[in-house]
């Protein structure tokens, strides 16, 4: 089995790209990744592309051949859809393709256009990721679903809205220097507390924004990297995926995310890395409570301890385990089908030392990314390591 | 259904199950005692295909809830409303709480299931009323 190197990464700025097509957004990210890698497009053997709601937002299904063409590639492409974990799955399958020896050069990433829809339309489109019969028809929105989890968490383990506000403030602070982030500004805990309610106990500043954007990463075999003398110091050494019942009502425990725990166990085992060896993490904080549950599922904190992590400073940029130095979904933005690839891109930059926040983790060698779909009915975890 | 969706997909037992909630409702139980909800051919917990319909307990307890202020389309006249996941023995149901304000709902509040019609979508709407 060959090792997998991240040869290059590319992102569009996350935010509002009114008037641009999804194919143009993805092409920008893909060309940036190929340029960063120093790899010719003709060497790419397959595109793994994540997208969730393009059929609703752009009335465009069958996007893989369209974005493959837009990126100037002359290979086949496949679209992966796993709600907000779409690009995470696209990357994971690209890792598996390289490891198998089937391919030496893969492009993986994703794209989402969301701001061309009204908030109500986005809410409805995202709700498609929930269980249509047993949740959507009962009026459960995505914020509503995470609110149900937050209430269950508070009831089981304690914690309060102020704990969550610290998560939001932390991630906004991290986004200030990130040129790709949608919100490059700080917020205070008080501002988060005072924002309007969306679905109690969650308020507006507990939620990620509506975002357009694309991500791309070039993954190559170690042999290809050596043959072409690529500067690719970061390897993906572990990958894992977990699944759970789609509807919250069917879960044993609504304050835990076992799909993420399963994905993490698989990825840690795959990499031969223990959770206490991880130096920094990018986790799926679509809502503040999601970051808390992720920290516990990833075995960074015991159940009930994740809620206070940001408030204690454990996960801030000067803490023992900086989490979401990119700004996270909360402040960097969440173009759902692009997010998993964006996490790989940000982690690669952080580990290479060319991210504006790399100075927070100058000696980091092990990073973890966690990308979740729905209310974590799907989860993909990757371990990235500095290989040389 | 709305005019734009005149021919909805079949629901393979869901509509019948939802309608039955007006009279107390039922759930699916497998030979090993695992509960689940229709439509169902196989127990998701153990794979048993030996399934039977059993009556729901008359009352359930709120397991978690939220007051929703920003609603999806189809619920435009509703917000704020309280959505809840309610445990009925070995199964849980999700629906909207009627006749109780958000301040009156707590984890553990006893409710009974019922079904309404969502006028905006034509779909069945599962609701809970004070037990």
pLDDT in tens, B68-125: 998 877 886 678 999 999 999 999 999 999 999 999 999 999 999 999 999 888 999 9
Q: How confident is the model at residue B43 (pLDDT cuts 50, 70, 90)?
A: very high
Closest by Cα among A183, A190, A194, A224 to A330 = A183
pLDDT of amino acid B77 = 67
Cross-strand bridge partners of residue B127? B96, B114
Q: Helices H, strands E: what count in chain A? A: 14, 11
| Three-class secondary structure of residue B109 per DSSP | coil
A243 and A377 in contact (C-beta within 8 Å)? Answer: yes
Report in angstroms the alpha-carbon separations of B47 from B11, B18, B31, B37, B44. Answer: 22, 24, 10, 14, 6
The answer to whether B94 contacts A135, with C-beta atoms less than 8 Å apart, is: yes
Asked if residue B10 has pLDDT above 80, the reply is no
Closest by Cα among B65, B28, B73 to A199 = B65
pLDDT of amino acid A120 = 81
- Interface check A53 vs B, CB under 8 A: no
pLDDT of amino acid B106 = 97
- Strand A4-11 to A46-50 pairing: unpaired
B7 phi and psi angles, rounded to 5 deg: -130, 75
Q: Compute the distance between CA of residue A208 and CA of residue A289 in angstroms, rounded to an integer.
A: 11
The answer to whether B72 contacts A139, with C-beta atoms less than 8 Å apart, is: yes
pLDDT of amino acid B1 = 40
pLDDT of amino acid B8 = 57
Region for A54 from its dihedrals, namely left if φ exceeds 0, alpha if ψ lies in -120 to 50, beta otherwise: alpha
CB pairs under 8 A between A and B: 103
Q: Compute the distance between CA of residue A153 and CA of residue A180 in angstroms, rounded to an integer.
A: 32
- CA distance, residue A97 to nearest chain B CA (Å): 31
A18 and A74 in contact (C-beta within 8 Å)? Answer: no
pLDDT of amino acid B73 = 76
- CA distance, residue A90 to nearest chain B CA (Å): 27
A370 and A265 in contact (C-beta within 8 Å)? Answer: no
A80 and A49 in contact (C-beta within 8 Å)? Answer: yes
- Interface check B15 vs A, CB under 8 A: no
Token pair 């986004």 is found at A175
Chain B residues in contact with A254 (beta carbon < 8 A): 63-64, 85
The answer to whether A148 contacts B66, with C-beta atoms less than 8 Å apart, is: yes
Q: Compute the distance between CA of residue A137 and CA of residue A156 in angstroms, rounded to an integer.
A: 27
Q: Compute the distance between CA of residue B9 and CA of residue B123 in angstroms, rounded to an integer.
A: 12
- Strand A213-221 to B60-68 pairing: unpaired
- Interface check A149 vs B, CB under 8 A: yes
pLDDT of amino acid B2 = 44
Chain A residues in contact with B89 (beta carbon < 8 A): none
- Interface check A122 vs B, CB under 8 A: no
| Three-class secondary structure of residue A315 per DSSP | coil
Asked if residue B3 has pLDDT above 60, the reply is no
- Interface check B72 vs A, CB under 8 A: yes
Q: Compute the distance between CA of residue A201 and CA of residue A206 in angstroms, rounded to an integer.
A: 9
- CA distance, residue B48 to nearest chain A CA (Å): 17
Enter the tokens of residue A359: 């100075």
- Residue A198 has its nearest CB partner, among B44, B65, B70, at B70
- pTM higher than 0.90: yes
Enter the tokens of residue A235: 């390897």
- CA distance, residue A281 to nearest chain B CA (Å): 30
Q: Compute the distance between CA of residue A249 and CA of residue A173 in angstroms, rounded to an integer.
A: 35
Token pair 């752009």 is found at A58
Q: Which of B68, B76, B84, B106 to mutate to test the interface with A (most CBs of A within 10 A)?
A: B68
Q: Name the more confident of B70 and B17.
A: B17
Catalytic residue status for A334? yes
The answer to whether B83 contacts A139, with C-beta atoms less than 8 Å apart, is: yes
In the predicted model, residues of chain A with pLDDT beneath 50 are: none
pLDDT of amino acid B79 = 84
Chain A residues in contact with B14 (beta carbon < 8 A): 133
Closest by Cα among A143, A192, A144, A148 to A168 = A192
Q: Which residue of B has its CA nearest to A155?
A: B107
Chain A residues in contact with B11 (beta carbon < 8 A): 133
């Amino acid at each position: 089995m060959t090792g997998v190197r991240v040869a290059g990464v590319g992102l569009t700025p996350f935010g509002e790209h009114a008037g641009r097509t999804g194919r143009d957004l993805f092409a920008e990210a893909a060309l940036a990744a190929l340029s960063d890698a120093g790899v010719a497009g003709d060497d790419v053997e397959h595109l793994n592309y994540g997208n969730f709601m393009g059929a609703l937002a752009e009335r465009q299904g069958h996007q893989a051949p369209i974005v493959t063409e837009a990126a100037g590639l002359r290979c086949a492409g496949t679209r992966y859809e796993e709600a907000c974990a779409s690009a995470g799955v696209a990357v994971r399958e690209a890792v598996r393709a390289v490891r198998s020896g089937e391919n030496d050069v893969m492009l993986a990433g994703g794209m989402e256009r969301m701001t061309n829809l009204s908030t109500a339309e986005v809410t409805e489109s995202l709700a498609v990721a929930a269980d249509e019969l047993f949740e959507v028809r009962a009026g459960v929105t995505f914020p509503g679903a995470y609110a149900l989890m937050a209430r269950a968490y508070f009831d089981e383990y304690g914690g309060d809205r102020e704990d969550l506000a610290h998560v939001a403030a932390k991630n906004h602070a991290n986004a200030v220097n990130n040129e790709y982030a949608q919100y490059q500004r700080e917020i205070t805990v008080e501002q988060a507390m005072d924002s309007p309610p969306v679905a109690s106990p969650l308020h507006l500043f507990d939620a990620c924004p509506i975002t357009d954007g694309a991500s791309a990463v070039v993954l190559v075999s170690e042999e290809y990297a050596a043959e072409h003398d690529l500067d690719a110091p970061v390897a993906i050494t572990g990958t894992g995926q977990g699944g759970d019942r789609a509807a919250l009502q069917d879960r044993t425990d609504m304050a835990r995310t076992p799909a993420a725990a399963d994905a993490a166990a698989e990825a840690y085992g795959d990499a031969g890395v223990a959770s206490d060896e991880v130096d920094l993490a990018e986790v799926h904080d679509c809502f503040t409570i999601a970051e808390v549950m992720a920290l516990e599922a990833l075995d960074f904190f015991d159940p009930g301890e994740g809620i206070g992590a940001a408030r204690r400073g454990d996960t801030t940029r000067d803490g023992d385990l900086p989490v979401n130095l990119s700004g996270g979904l909360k402040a960097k933005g969440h173009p759902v089908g692009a997010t998993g690839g964006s996490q790989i891109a940000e982690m690669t930059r952080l580990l290479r030392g060319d991210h504006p926040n790399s100075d927070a983790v100058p000696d980091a060698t092990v990073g973890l990314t966690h990308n979740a779909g729905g209310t974590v009915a799907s989860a993909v975890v990757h371990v990235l390591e500095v290989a040389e | 259904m709305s005019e734009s969706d005149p021919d909805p997909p079949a629901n393979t037992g869901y509509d019948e199950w939802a309608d039955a909630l007006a009279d107390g409702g039922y759930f699916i139980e497998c030979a090993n005692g695992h509960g689940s909800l229709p439509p169902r051919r196989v127990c998701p917990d153990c794979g048993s295909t030996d399934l039977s319909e059993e009556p729901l307990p008359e009352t359930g307890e709120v397991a978690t809830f939220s007051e929703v202020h920003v609603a999806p389309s189809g619920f435009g006249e509703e917000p704020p409303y309280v959505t809840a996941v309610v445990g009925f023995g070995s199964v849980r149901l999700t629906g909207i709480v009627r006749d109780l304000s958000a301040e009156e709902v707590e984890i553990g509040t006893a409710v009974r299931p019922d079904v309404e019609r969502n006028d905006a979508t034509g779909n069945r709407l599962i609701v809970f009323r004070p037990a």
